[in-house]
Structure 1
Amino acid sequence: MTIRPGAPMPEQLRHWMRAKAHPARSVPCPVCGAGEHQPCHLKTRNRTLTEPHPQRISDWALSTACCPACQVEPGIDCHDDGWARATVHDRRTQEAKDTAA
């Protein structure tokens, strides 16, 4: 079998290899600019972080889970009494982690 760089990887194998990665890596990071399925890094780009940036986790929760605190659907920002929040509620992040597991 010839090994070719850039050859497509079967989806089952790709899923198995990413199983240990944080599910928030499925969205790009707005802080460091890491692409989908890439680890977050420092701005100097010489150190890879073990956990995603909090804003990346917040963006992932926003796109995947409903918020039990303010009753909004995925893709809609959380709010406090009509005022938009900069981040999502902690309960929404927990809901996203529970559904990803």
Structure 2
Amino acid sequence: MTTRRPAAPMPESIRHGLRAKQHPARAVECPHCGAAAHRPCVVRSRNTVLAQPHPQRVSAWAQTTACCPECQVTPTAPCHDDGRARATVHNRRYQEAEETAA
């Protein structure tokens, strides 16, 4: 019988590189289904794992990682239209977040 040694903890920088096949939005918790960071989104009523994250998760990821060039807000601040907060982020903020992740 072979005994295994406990695995050494992996640094987050290496772990993130190994998860490059996954959508970068999986780095944040999903506000829609409650999936933890680095876990896939699920449909709770059918207990089904989704291949792509919920749009709300992608929006939350873009909000936490990129500045919005359209409304000039910093990361973590929600986008706005003339002082009114938006439910989602601007399309240009998605582009900025994707460029940052690449």
Question: TM class by shorter-chain length?
Answer: 0.7 to 0.9
Q: Distance in 2 between matches of 1:66 and 1:16?
A: 23
| Residue type at the aligned position of 1:96 | A
Aligned to 1:81: 82
| Residue type at the aligned position of 1:61 | A
Aligned to 1:50: 51
| Residue type at the aligned position of 1:2 | R
Of 13-22 and 34-43, more deviation after overlay is shown by: 13-22
Q: Distance in 2 between matches of 1:15 and 1:85?
A: 30
**TM-score normalised according to structure 2 size:** 0.86
Q: By how many angstroms is 1:54 displaced?
A: 0.3
Aligned to 2:10: 10
Q: Distance in 1 between matches of 2:68 and 2:55?
A: 17
Please report the RMSD computed on the Cα atoms of aligned residues, expressed in angstroms.
Answer: 1.8
Aligned to 2:27: 26
Q: Distance in 1 between matches of 2:25 and 2:44?
A: 19
Segments ≥4 residues shifted beyond 4 Å:
none
Q: By how many angstroms is 1:17 displaced?
A: 2.7
Structure 2 spans left out of the alignment, 5+ residues: none
Q: By how many angstroms is 1:8 displaced?
A: 4.1
Between the aligned residues of both structures, percent identity stands at 59
**TM-score normalised according to structure 1 size:** 0.87
Of 38-47 and 18-27, more deviation after overlay is shown by: 38-47
Aligned to 1:40: 41
Q: By how many angstroms is 1:33 displaced?
A: 1.0
